[in-house]
Amino acid sequence: MKPTNIKDPEYFHKVVDCQYACPAHTPVPEYIRLIAAERYTEAYMVNWESNVFPGVLGRTCDRPCEPACRRGRVEEKPVAICRLKRVAADNKGPVRQLMPQGPFPSNGKKIALIGGGPASLTVARDLAPLGYELHLYDDHKKGGGMMRSQIPAFRLPESVLDEEVDFILDLGIHRHFNTYVSSMKDILSQDYDAVFVGTGAPKGGDLRKIPGREEGDANIHIGIEWLANVAFEHTDKIGKKVVVLGGGNTAMDCCRTAKRLGGEEVTVVVRSPFKDMKASPWEIEDAQREGIPIRNCMPPKQFVVENGKLKGVLFEKVEAVYDENGKRSLVSTGEPDEFIEADEVLMAIGQENAFPWIERDLGIEFGKWDIPVVDRLTFQSTNPRVFFGGDAAFGPENVITAVAHGHQAAVSIDLFCQGQDLRERPAPTVNLFHQKMGIHEWMYDSQVVEDLRYAVPHAANEVALKDRKLEVELGFSQDTGFKEAQRCLNCDIQTIFTDRLCIECDACVDICPTSCITFTLNGEEEEVRARLNAPAEELSQDLYVSDTLPTSRVMIKDENVCLHCGLCAERCPTAAWDMKKYLYQVTKTCQVWDIMAPVQL
Amino acid sequence: MTYLRPKFRHPESPKNNLGYTRQYYEGALSTLCAGCGHDSISGAIIQACFEIDLEPHRLAKLSGIGCSSKTPTYFLGNSHGFNSVHGRMPSVATGANLANRDLIYLGVSGDGDSASIGMGQFVHAIRRNLNIVYIVMNNGCYGLTKGQDSATADVGSVNKSGAANQFSTIDLVGLALELGATFVGRSFSGDKAQLVPMIKAAMAHRGFAFIDVLSPCVTFNNNPGSTKSYDYVRAHLEATAAVDYVPFKSEITASYPEGTGKTIRLHDDSEIRLRKLASGWDPTDRGLAFARLQESRSNNEILTGLIYLDPNRKDLHEMLDTVGQPLNTLTEQDLCPGQSALEAINAENR
């Protein structure tokens, strides 16, 4: 194997699994340490710089970081990263004065942002300090997009959302709310230098082909539309018996909202088996905690309507059968169909992009499923002036992905407006910081605690179910937040090996708790992996290989389950091992907060 | 600050035939200097015990005083242990062995503990062919008292203060050979591939198994001019053969071309196999061992590997014809067999 090039910014980035898995690459261990140090304001700003909506995401993020967390590989559960983010947001001090302060000198460029959701708002935040004139269009009365219309208030209080949306709007964004953009041609005919489309995936799935759909229409609703009506207070009640169709997060939001609007018997019915449900496990748990039954393997067959009134839904019984390729098909079990009574039905069976307002003769090419052709790196469409991001670009994802898209689209728009090549993007910012203070002393808390993941407290059902706006998750207290923060393994504190200093005494090999380090003869990766001190079967995790040492061996470290405890460096007599903090920040248009600068608060 | 070792281990840590992972054979976190050779030897002992499926309660570790003698705290935390007086470990070990012959005895000592203050004890334990694995962690200096030359420092070896040793050296391997040790080996803390199988073989050997392990003192004797530094030892290593230890009933998986390998059967029918055997080398030939040792000294080589082995000599218990079971298992019936037994003995002597 070739010696590892640790100067490649992506090598150590990959070792910080949480950050690497995060679409926006938020420096997770950095802000977790700040939380442990009770520096909540700075922890918030580290987040805000990277993911723009820490308070929102600390409650509602899909958390791709948590399954990636290294802690989950050495014990049962990962660090509760998402909930720690909320600790920062809940306990922050005044932050507004730490954000860029307008008015910003104009650079003479004018941008239209269509849709007021997380993608557009991120573009707005990244471009505003550079002097762009930004015009944000949304058909609702407030910004926030699906964060406002689809996420119920008992999961995300309106005040939290308002605050974070306003941080951005107050940078001097021109607001065009209650304005439905009905023609892209019209927008393009105006004097905008570029247009960003962040209109999400606004079309909820329907079941037009199921008998009874037309007749029962008055009591059969599309989930996301119904949620939006609740959020904007057009709807404030529902029938006593409610059936929710679908097994994703929207279904969970629908059933829990229904329960709060007067639904007494709310049932979620899913066509697939429980284990295949798309909803996040914690959202399923939350629904179950509120006493909502989830029925599986029951696709709807008929909406039963009598005398023009919906009576319920008839379901078929199926089971999942897998062929030799693992492909699933749902096959009828032959059991009799089941009828579930319902006064109202909510359909939460997926959502799609829809661009009825974009004329097809503007040079914006559309591909499969009516999704625009968008460059994955630059977010530019086939019309060079038009950029897409968020769900509008590649189909439904989540808030954090929309934010990540926003950052990159902003970089592209900036390059485009300056007449530069969109593919020659600025490099990410990387830094290595010394951590050593003494033989056994590091600037980070290197000791690995054995605490198991802490549970977050919830409001009691009796109170929570009576008030649609009462937040259910109560968040960690500062004390619990500290304890949970201590579970973080500090994977951004990198083990750095300097081969010319190594005397091959084996001290690091002997001390390493997880047997990550081996000194052995070099070879091909596949064969080397088989003869390391501990199994190295996780191929997605790199091997850190040194140059050849005097005994003609090489040092090989399997990054997979390294605890970043620093013992190798403490036991190294020649400082051939060192622990250094690695800070990786993705390319953005401008730095709205300097993580590295010391702060006087 | 970390003075504690995290409890987490590799989730796929291999298990031995007893179902234990290597962790079960570990001890407390070492307090020796970072990079000490002794820690590597501790690591090799842990690895060897893990690999031979040792039940930890079947082993007793004994030591004297010194950096080396601290190490039993850092391995086999689930075994018996006795940290004795400086240089007096061989006597304690002899007593323990006579009282309970069923345990495996692992003596851990250093060059000061064995070659200076404990020399009188050391040589007599060898003479008696006490059944013990006796490891000397040999760094050529008194590390615990800031690095004065020890009796095993080579003539001309320069210590950290810059002075060259003028006194004649004691070669513990030569001494053990002379006094009739039945298993004599030498290794290097930085060569686990050699050391681990050698410890395994020594544990299977019945009789005095002596292993001299060169173990650089990173703090006081790892300087240029020292003949016990990592660099010097690595540059002057010369191995007799590669050692493999094969437990009884293991499948034979390798065969060696004529003249390049040798198999020696131990009393418990386990085997020691030697690969890459130096030409004309036979570790059961004592005369050859003496000659080879002398030759390597003249060539400034450090001869490592299994140097001499006599699997057939009687150990102390056999020579003394002691009772075949540990003393604490003898019942009153065994110890006071009664009038008829006494009369039988008397009758024999009439």
Specify the CATH number for the domain of residue B118: 3.40.50.970
Taking residues A303-308, report their average pLDDT.
Answer: 92
Residue A538: closest CA among chain B residues belongs to which residue?
B12
Cβ of B6 and A563 within 8 Å?
yes
- Is B15 among the domain residues? no
- Is B38 among the domain residues? yes
pLDDT tens, position by position, A63-116? 999 999 999 999 999 999 999 999 999 999 999 999 999 899 999 999 999 999
Query: Is the pLDDT assigned to residue A159 strictly greater than 50?
Result: yes
- Is B7 among the domain residues? no
Query: Is the pLDDT assigned to residue B258 strictly greater than 70?
Result: no
B12 interface with A at CB cutoff 8 Å: yes
Enter the tokens of residue B154: 């080579």
**Neighbour-count burial of B192, counting CB atoms closer than 10 A to its CB (0-12 exposed, 13-18 middle, 19+ buried):** buried
- Is B334 among the domain residues? no
Closest CA to A124 of A354, A410, A363: A410
Q: Which of A38-52, A587-601, B34-48, B328-342 has the lowest mean pLDDT?
A: A587-601
Q: What is the pLDDT of residue A594?
A: 86
Taking residues B180-199, report their average pLDDT.
Answer: 94
Query: Is the pLDDT assigned to residue B14 strictly greater than 70?
Result: yes
- Is B344 among the domain residues? no
B348 interface with A at CB cutoff 8 Å: no
- DSSP conformational letter for A368: G
* C-alpha–C-alpha distance, residues A524 and A43, integer Å: 43
pLDDT tens, position by position, B297-309? 898 889 999 999 9
- Is B16 among the domain residues? no
* C-alpha–C-alpha distance, residues A424 and A42, integer Å: 32
Taking residues A193-206, report their average pLDDT.
Answer: 94
Q: Confidence band (pLDDT; 50, 70, 90) for B270?
A: confident
Q: What is the pTM of this model?
A: 0.90
How many structural domains is chain B composed of?
1
pLDDT tens, position by position, A356-399? 999 999 999 998 878 899 999 999 999 999 999 999 999 999 99
Q: What is the pLDDT of residue B247?
A: 77
Taking residues A542-551, report their average pLDDT.
Answer: 95
Query: Is the pLDDT assigned to residue A452 strictly greater than 80?
Result: yes
Cβ of A448 and B6 within 8 Å?
yes
B34 interface with A at CB cutoff 8 Å: yes
CATH (residue range A9-97+446-486) = 1.10.1060
Cβ of A506 and B4 within 8 Å?
no
Say which of A447, A509, A514 has its CB closest to residue B10: A514
Closest CA to B239 of B197, B204, B178: B197
B110 interface with A at CB cutoff 8 Å: no
Q: Over chain A, what is the mean pLDDT?
A: 94
**Residues of chain A with C-beta less than 8 angstroms from the C-beta of B14:** 534-535
Q: Confidence band (pLDDT; 50, 70, 90) for B265?
A: confident
* C-alpha–C-alpha distance, residues B185 and B202, integer Å: 9
**Residues of chain B with C-beta less than 8 angstroms from the C-beta of A574:** 35
pLDDT tens, position by position, B211-239? 999 999 999 999 999 999 999 999 998 88
Say which of B8, B22, B40 has its CB closest to residue A563: B8
Cβ of B2 and A509 within 8 Å?
no
Cβ of A73 and B11 within 8 Å?
yes
ipTM: 0.88
Taking residues B38-50, report their average pLDDT.
Answer: 96
3-state secondary structure B64-105: CCCHHHHHHHHECCCCEEEECCCCCHHHHHHHHHHHCCCCEE
CATH superfamily of A102-202+353-417: FAD/NAD(P)-binding domain (3.50.50.60)
In terms of phi and psi (left: phi > 0; alpha: psi -120 to 50; beta: otherwise), the region of A38 is left
B257 interface with A at CB cutoff 8 Å: no
Taking residues A569-577, report their average pLDDT.
Answer: 93
**Residues of chain B with C-beta less than 8 angstroms from the C-beta of A566:** 2
- Is B270 among the domain residues? yes
**Residues of chain A with C-beta less than 8 angstroms from the C-beta of B13:** 515, 534
pLDDT tens, position by position, B188-197? 999 999 999 9
Cβ of B234 and A551 within 8 Å?
yes
Q: What is the pLDDT of residue A418?
A: 96
Q: What is the pLDDT of residue A39?
A: 95
B27 interface with A at CB cutoff 8 Å: no
pLDDT tens, position by position, A506-531? 999 999 999 999 999 999 999 999 99
Q: What is the pLDDT of residue A600?
A: 57
Query: Considering only residues 129 to 188 of chain B, which have any Cβ-Cβ distance to chain A shorter than 8 Å?
Result: none
pLDDT tens, position by position, B84-131? 999 999 999 999 999 999 999 999 999 999 999 999 999 999 999 999
Closest CA–CA distance from residue B226 to any residue of chain A (Å): 15
Cβ neighbour number for residue A428 with a 10 Å cutoff: 14
**Inter-helix orientation angle A249-260/A281-289, to 10°:** 20
Say which of A439, A505, A514 has its CB closest to residue B9: A514
Cβ of A505 and B33 within 8 Å?
no
Give the best residue of A505, A567, A568 to mutate against chain B (max B CB count within 10 A).
A505
Q: Which domain holds residue B116?
A: 22-320
What DSSP string runs through A460-498? -HHHHTT-TTS-SB----HHHHHHHHHT---TTEEEEE-
Q: What is the pLDDT of residue A596?
A: 77
How many contacts does A have with B, using Cβ atoms within 8 A?
110
Say which of A505, A534, A565 has its CB closest to residue B35: A505
Check for a shared fold between A102-202+353-417 and A204-349.
yes
State which H helix or E strand residue A518 sits in.
Answer: strand A517-520
Q: Confidence band (pLDDT; 50, 70, 90) for A591?
A: confident
Taking residues A235-250, report their average pLDDT.
Answer: 95
Cβ of B1 and A506 within 8 Å?
no
**Residues of chain A with C-beta less than 8 angstroms from the C-beta of B216:** 505
A565 interface with B at CB cutoff 8 Å: yes
Q: Confidence band (pLDDT; 50, 70, 90) for B1?
A: very low
**Residues of chain B with C-beta less than 8 angstroms from the C-beta of A509:** 43
pLDDT tens, position by position, A335-344? 999 999 999 9
CATH superfamily of A204-349: FAD/NAD(P)-binding domain (3.50.50.60)
Which residues touch A120 (CB under 8 Å, ≥6 apart)? A113, A114, A136, A145, A196, A198, A389, A390, A406
* C-alpha–C-alpha distance, residues A184 and A202, integer Å: 17
pLDDT tens, position by position, A56-65? 999 999 999 9
Closest CA–CA distance from residue B276 to any residue of chain A (Å): 18
Q: What percent of chain A has pLDDT over 70?
A: 99
Closest CA to A377 of A342, A409, A345: A409
* C-alpha–C-alpha distance, residues B302 and A130, integer Å: 71
What are the domain boundaries of chain A? 9-97+446-486, 102-202+353-417, 204-349
Enter the tokens of residue B118: 């404990």
B2 interface with A at CB cutoff 8 Å: yes
Enter the tokens of residue A188: 């393009």
Whether residue A291 contacts residue A201, with contact meaning beta carbons closer than 8 Å, is answered with no
Q: What is the pLDDT of residue A422?
A: 96
**Residues of chain A with C-beta less than 8 angstroms from the C-beta of B139:** none
